[in-house]
Amino acid sequence: MLSAIRDALSLSHLHREDVRANPYPFYEQLREQDPIHWDDEFGFWVLTRYDDIAALYYDDRFSRAEGLMRNFERLTEIEKQVVQPVYESFSKTVFYADPPYHTNLRGLLNHAFTPRYVERLRPFIQRTVDKLLDGHHGGMDIIEDLAYPLPVMVIAELIGLPAGDRAKFKAWSDDLFAILGTVKDKPRHLLERAAQSLAEMTDYIKALADARRDNLGDDLLSVLLGVSDERKCPVPHHSQGGLTRESHTASSLTAEELVANVNILLSTGHETTTHLIGNGILALLQHPDQMKLLKEKPALMASAVDEILRYDNPVQITYRSALDDADLNGKLIRRGDLVNTVIGSANRDPERFTEPHRFDITRSEGRHLSFGLGIHYCIGAPLVKLEAEIAFETILRRFPNLQLKSGVLEWQEHPIFRGLKELKVSL
């Protein structure tokens, strides 16, 4: 009986088409039956309650860097050989770092994500959204025609990439995204393609940085170069079949860190924004009363974006690893155990949100966990929200008769990221 319950609660169900279409009843079952659950099939812990996840995000006994290493160690030897460079690059990023290494990286990257710096992109984002919507009259695919190209165009502008190279960067980003978070058991050709794309992206960014040094502008790459140098500093390295981290206290980014962080900002920033726009338009179309309210009261836009992030977040799961044995509400987490935090479940927790399955753009209670908490709060959150706000406002203003076309919605086959393959609408 216990074995049957464990099987019923395994995250393997996220690979089922019906669960991908609507994972929230499954999350609710997990949250109610075993909120701190050991997944026998995958060999990791699964947390689904808001309070448990929020507490873990502030708990320094749980590590993003160790989580990355534990994921690497779970791979087969062949998988390790292929994707080792990818993991080494990830380990140099603010996404997978712990203090004091994280503190240093975050402080340096913050130079490029001040509110003033992000706000200066507003006119470019507005022009880009208008341009992408121009020419569409009878209908369009929100994903292909807007949500997919917009983020890469914005990030390219942010970093200062030549316009002609955007398609190249999008292809590299897609290849890295295909293995992000879930490398184990992926087809080898996907792993090899990701490793090759990372190598090409790295060479490109290095060459671009070298050329930019003599002619700094106000783009993100120039800002980062302004706080970077070429001196040799201790950085994460591969050792004895795994990834290890050394301390780093330099006051500037190394060339390797510069490239790694630009790379991951491109890949993760693009996917997050694409799916936020797609999931948001779908939520509004499926709740016409809320769409009508937003049209009537555009001042609710910021609140609407936050509700979309809570209601159907693009990033459903993140992970940590335990640095020491830890007791979580009576469950013993052993040192080295992987812990998956299901953000999609936390954002629908009735202990935190009243009527959590109701989409309400006027909701003011609590805060969602879609951008994390504590030191790992998403550094790019202001930019992601700005893009979404401009996209939603412009679509609703220009296409007041927007409607969802009939047909079955198809969701991306990725257990960590949630987004549509296409979203066809009539205008």
Cβ pair 256, 112 in contact under 8 A: no
Instruction: Give pTM, 2 decimals.
Output: 0.90
Q: Given a cut of 70, is residue 3 above it in pLDDT? A: no
Complete DSSP assignment for 129-152: HHHHHTT--SEEEHIIIIITHHHH
What does the alpha-carbon distance between residue 150 and residue 250 come to, in Å, rounded to a whole number?
35
In this predicted model, what pLDDT tens digit does every residue of 355-378 receive, in sequence order?
999 999 999 887 999 999 999 999
Cβ(257)–Cβ(265) below 8 Å: no
* Biggest distance spanned by C-alpha atoms of the chain: 68
The mean predicted confidence, pLDDT, of the chain is: 87
What angle is formed at CA 355 by the lines to CA 350 and CA 356, rounded to 5 degrees? 60
What domains are there in the chain, each with its CATH number?
2-426 (1.10.630.10)
CB atoms within 10 A of CB 331: 15
Is-contact 177 171, C-beta < 8 A? no
Asked whether residue 221 carries a pLDDT value surpassing 80, the answer given is yes
How crowded is residue 184: how many other Cβ atoms within 10 Å of its Cβ? 12
In the chain, the amino acid numbered 274 is T
Q: Mind listing the pLDDT tens digit for each residue in 170-218?
A: 888 888 877 766 656 678 888 889 889 888 988 888 888 888 888 888 8
Q: Looking at residue 365, what is its pLDDT? A: 83
Instruction: Tell me how far apart the alpha carbons of residues 418 and 309 are, in angstroms, rounded to a whole number.
Output: 11
Residue type, 101: Y
Q: What H or E segment, with its residue span, contains residue 266?
A: helix 255-286
CB environment 188-218: b (16+ within 10 A), e (fewer): eeebebbbebbeebbebbeebbeebeeeeee
In this predicted structure, the answer to whether residue 250 has a pLDDT above a threshold of 70 is no
Average pLDDT for 67-71: 85
pLDDT at 176: 80
Burial (CB count within 10 angstroms: exposed 0-12, middle 13-18, buried 19+), residue 162:
exposed
pLDDT tens digit sequence for 119-159: 999 999 999 999 999 989 899 999 999 999 999 899 888 88
pLDDT tens figures, 324-365: 999 999 999 999 999 999 999 999 999 999 999 999 999 988
Cβ–Cβ under 8 Å, residues 326 and 425: no
**CA geometry: angle at 174 spanning 173 and 179, to 5°?**
100
Buried b (16+ CB within 10 A) or exposed e, 377-388: ebbbbbbbbbbb
Instruction: Label residue 415 by pLDDT band (50, 70, 90).
Output: confident
- Give the range among 60-69, 73-82, 117-126, 418-427 with minimum mean pLDDT: 73-82
Burial of 164 (0-12, 13-18, 19+ CB in 10 A): exposed
The encoded tokens of residue 5 equal 């319950």
What is the pLDDT at residue 185? 67
Are residues 315 and 417 in contact, defined by beta-carbon separation less than 8 angstroms?
Answer: yes
Q: Give yes or no for residue 227 having a pLDDT over 60.
A: yes
The H or E element that residue 244 is part of is: strand 242-244
Which one, of 263, 37, 205, 226, lies nearest residue 117 by Cα? 226
DSSP state of 74: T
57-61, 100-104, 331-335: segment of lowest average pLDDT? 100-104
267-301, pLDDT tens digit by residue?
A: 778 889 999 999 999 999 999 999 999 999 999 99
d(CA 14, CA 64): 23
Give the whole-angstrom CA distance, residue 67 versus residue 320.
5
Contacts of 150 (CB under 8 A, 6+ apart): 125, 128, 129, 132, 273, 274, 277, 387, 391
